[in-house]
């Protein structure tokens, strides 16, 4: 177990966070970029960093919009049910 811990420490010391267009990529974003590259290669195209980034931005924007819409609908339901939050509860 000590060896596994040492290996993990060694990896994390040497590996730098991945960035694309000035934004750090977490595991989910990095995986999405890889999927875009894979799709391009499997369809006989050449992977394009710019189109992969554009697709990633569209995906993240859609996800944020859906989350915001869900929250808005939940709050709207509370309001229509007469359970409107007091100003102090919103903070």
Encode pLDDT of 4-27 as tens digits: 989 989 888 898 888 888 888 888
Cα 11 from Cα 58, distance rounded (Å): 32
Displacement of CA 3 from its chain's centroid (Å): 32
Dig out the tokens for 64 from the structure. 């944020």
Q: Which residues span the domain enclosing 50?
A: 19-84
CA atoms within 13 A on the CB side of 77: 6
> Is 56 a domain residue?
yes
Q: Which pTM was predicted?
A: 0.52
> Is 71 a domain residue?
yes
> Is 11 a domain residue?
no
pLDDT tens profile 23-80: 888 888 888 888 888 988 999 988 888 888 888 888 889 999 999 999 999 888 887 7
> Is 28 a domain residue?
yes
Q: What pLDDT is stored for residue 64 in this prediction?
A: 93
Going 72 to 76 to 78 to 83, the CA torsion angle's sign is: positive
Displacement of CA 80 from its chain's centroid (Å): 32
Q: What is the mean pLDDT of the chain?
A: 84
Q: What percent of the chain has pLDDT over 70?
A: 88
Dig out the tokens for 85 from the structure. 């939050």
Q: What pLDDT is stored for residue 68 in this prediction?
A: 94
Q: How many domains does the chain have?
A: 1
> Is 90 a domain residue?
no
Place of tokens 């000590």: 2
């Amino acid at each position: 177990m000590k060896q596994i811990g040492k290996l993990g420490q060694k990896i994390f010391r040497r590996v730098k966070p991945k960035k694309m267009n000035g934004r750090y990529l977490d595991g989910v974003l990095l995986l999405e970029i890889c999927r875009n590259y894979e799709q391009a290669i499997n369809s006989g195209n050449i992977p394009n960093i710019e189109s992969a980034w554009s697709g990633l931005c569209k995906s993240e924007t859609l996800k944020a919009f859906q989350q915001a819409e869900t929250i808005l609908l939940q709050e709207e339901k509370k309001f229509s049910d007469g359970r409107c939050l007091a100003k102090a509860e919103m903070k």
